[in-house]
Amino acid sequence: MYNERFDGRKSDETRPITAKVGIIPNAKGSAMFKIGNTVAMAAVYGPRILYPKFLKSPDKALLRCNYNMMSFSGSGERVRPGSSRRDREISHITEKALEPVLIVDDFPGSVVDVYIELLQTDAGTRCAGICAASMALAHAGFKMRGLVSAISVGVVGGKLVVDLNNQEEHHEEGHTDCPVGMIARTGEITLLQMDGFATPDQIKKMVESAKKACEQIEEIQRKALLEAYEVAK
């Protein structure tokens, strides 16, 4: 039984989070989201002209995300640069997690590019990436129905925990990892994946604790966006 967590956190406690916007002046919007040792950066460009042309949609802009782990980001071995199957999957689910909030009807036939770079990884990268991307989109001035917050919850050694780190993701007594992304205000879920096993009851509890964590994250995201304007004052 996994009673005490490796880093001494409570079962429903996230790792320390810092967030900042406006880190990349060249981009229309940018953000950094750091949760524990996982650091994600996101930059937004566009809406701009879309190539290849067959991807064009006549009624709205396309959201195109690119998730990338830097070659030095892992915990030892060099991450092979370039797109892998895993990168493409995470890029895709990031798009699906952000599309429901983003309103881009004003720019049909164009593309909004979101580049997510992971500088340092210690589990929960897709969630950190989504949090950073949603902040960057808001910072770029896009119309959004809300900010998307994401957190991974899971079952480690039979115990329900929030925000797994890399050590917990490889726990010997079995581990379940379930990234959840949602609009914290309404509780609408935009991302839900799971690796491992869990009972229906556990899944319900996991989503509930994810909602609580997402509410905290949304508050941090909000403050980070406001900070960019308070400093200027």
Q: Which of residues 156-185 bind another protein (CB under 8 A)?
A: 183, 185
Tell which one of 11, 37, 110, 202 touches another protein (CB under 8 A). Answer: 110
**Binder to another protein among 8, 52, 58, 82 (CB under 8 A)?**
58
User: With contact defined as beta carbons under 8 Å apart, do 28 and 48 qualify?
Assistant: no
Of the ranges 72-80, 138-146, 157-165, 172-180, which one interacts with another protein (CB under 8 A)? 138-146
Site for another protein contains 109 (CB under 8 A): yes
Q: Does 138 bind another protein (CB under 8 A)?
A: yes
With CB under 8 A as the contact rule, the residue among 11, 13, 20, 146 that binds another protein is 146
Main-chain phi, psi angles of 11, to 5 degrees: -65, -30
| Beta strand 175-183 pairing with 188-192 | antiparallel
Would you say 1 and 159 are in contact if contact means Cβ atoms under 8 Å apart? yes
Q: How many CA atoms lie within 13 A of 106 on its CB side?
A: 8
DSSP structure string for 94-129: HHHHHTTTEE-TTSTTEEEEEEEEEEE-SS-HHHHH
Q: Retrieve residue 140's tokens.
A: 């770029």
The correct pick among 48, 88, 92, 204 for binding another protein (CB under 8 A) is 48
Indicate whether 229 belongs to the interface with another protein (CB under 8 A): yes
C-alpha dihedral (184, 142, 19, 221), degrees to nearest 10: -30
Number of residues located near another protein, criterion CB under 8 A = 35
Q: Does 55 bind another protein (CB under 8 A)?
A: no
Asked if residue 130 binds another protein (CB under 8 A), the reply is: no
Determine, following the binding rule CB under 8 A, whether residue 225 of this chain makes contact with another protein. Answer: yes
109 is written with which tokens? Answer: 């036939």
Rule CB under 8 A: which residues touch another protein?
28-29, 46-49, 58, 61, 101, 103, 106-110, 138-147, 183, 185, 218, 221-222, 225-226, 229, 232-233
